[in-house]
Amino acid sequence: MFENLSDKLEKAFKNLKGQGKITEINVAETLKEVRRALLDADVNYKVAKQFTDTIKEKALGQNVLTAVSPGQLLVKIAHDELATLMGGQMTDIQLKGNPSVILMSGLQGSGKTTLSGKLANFLKTKKGKTPLLVACDVYRPAAIDQLKVLGEQIGVEVYSEVENKNPVEIARHAIKQAKQNGNNVVVVDTAGRLAIDEQMMNEIAALKNAIEPDEILFVVDSMTGQDAVNTAKAFNDRLNFDGVVLTKLDGDTRGGAALSIRSVVNKPIKFVGTGEKMDALDVFHPERMADRILGMGDIVTLVEKAQEQFDEKQAAELQKKFAKNQFNFNDFLSQLQQIKKMGNIKDLVSMIPELVRQLKTWTLTTMLLKALKQSFSQ
């Protein structure tokens, strides 16, 4: 995630290494590389230009403290601007009604149905809610079955009407049942298309007017880059959605959608999908994402993930075993399983940048030693 962008930005800021002060020349050279890195990451051109222009304006004329190098100062300014570009601060999901109604929107293939399940699981486990999933995708084959399977996995009820092809009626009936059964959140999964069309827009607009959702989330595949931003703009013009959810952020994404979408539609990114498992949904924190992009790591998120999996009783027992020298392979396996629950190991390691640098150094050293050994043996 953002690996290529992070590497290119790191190289760009190295231009200021060893410089005694910030000048218009060295800032221009550095920001030229920064702009190029952003464009390579499929960031909107206007957004990239405005971003670098703002950094230049703030950097020039600033007094550099003796304890801070020009490179460090520019990284600090870039970090603050990156966080602002992505929203500045975390925006929570709004759950006002009883039941609160959340309408999911987006193109087919963006991961909308899976995200609906992840969101229901998040609301159940993290917010203490009793959600109801509603299958309003009456066109895609097996969409209803997929939602039912997801509902079984997370222990959430799914409302569907197999014979009914009217999404508005299905949603209304689902909300009525939620009131009767005590479900305090209703997550409505809607149909998507392979491209934006008038029929799709009219249908989801009618659904919005009929159920008056408390929250409309636009689900977008982060790997589609600028296409995702253009699609978001088209949906926002018709729906005026409340927030964006980026899926597949664990894939080989260049980051263009995450960095551009806020500026283009002026709506916050609220969640990011970081894996295939049902608990792989994270609240989006702009400052933490800026840390990751600039290679500063994300210790706060790492600690939060560890706390979620932390078992105080088990930790106390392990401490006793260590003290008595009774720690065995079964205990070791148990610890590995706990770490695995926190997510992909590669993503976890990337949150500790110094560890990544040490691993890269160790790998490079190992390769050099092997090459030397081979040359001497010949």
Going from N- to C-terminal start, the domains of the chain cover 3-85, 100-285, 312-377
- The whole-number pLDDT of residue 101 equals 93
CB atoms within 10 A of CB 238: 16
pLDDT digits (tens, 9 = 90+) for 92-139: 888 888 899 999 998 887 888 999 999 999 999 988 899 999 999 888
Contact of 74 with 17, CB cutoff 8 Å: no
- The whole-number pLDDT of residue 24 equals 77
- The whole-number pLDDT of residue 40 equals 81
CATH code of the domain occupying 100-285: 3.40.50.300
CATH code of the domain occupying 3-85: 1.20.120.140
Contact of 131 with 156, CB cutoff 8 Å: yes
* 103 DSSP β-pair partners: 188, 216
Q: How far is CA 247 from CA 212, 222, 244, in A?
A: 25, 6, 10
- The whole-number pLDDT of residue 310 equals 59
Q: pTM value?
A: 0.72
Give the chain's residues under pLDDT 50. 65-67, 298-300
- The whole-number pLDDT of residue 302 equals 54
Q: Report the SS3 class of residue 347.
A: helix
- The whole-number pLDDT of residue 120 equals 93
Q: What's the alpha-carbon Rg for the chain, to the nearest Å? A: 24
Q: Do domains 3-85 and 100-285 have the same CATH topology?
A: no
- The whole-number pLDDT of residue 169 equals 92
Contact of 47 with 85, CB cutoff 8 Å: yes
Contact of 283 with 244, CB cutoff 8 Å: no
CB atoms within 10 A of CB 363: 10
Q: How many residues does the chain have?
A: 378
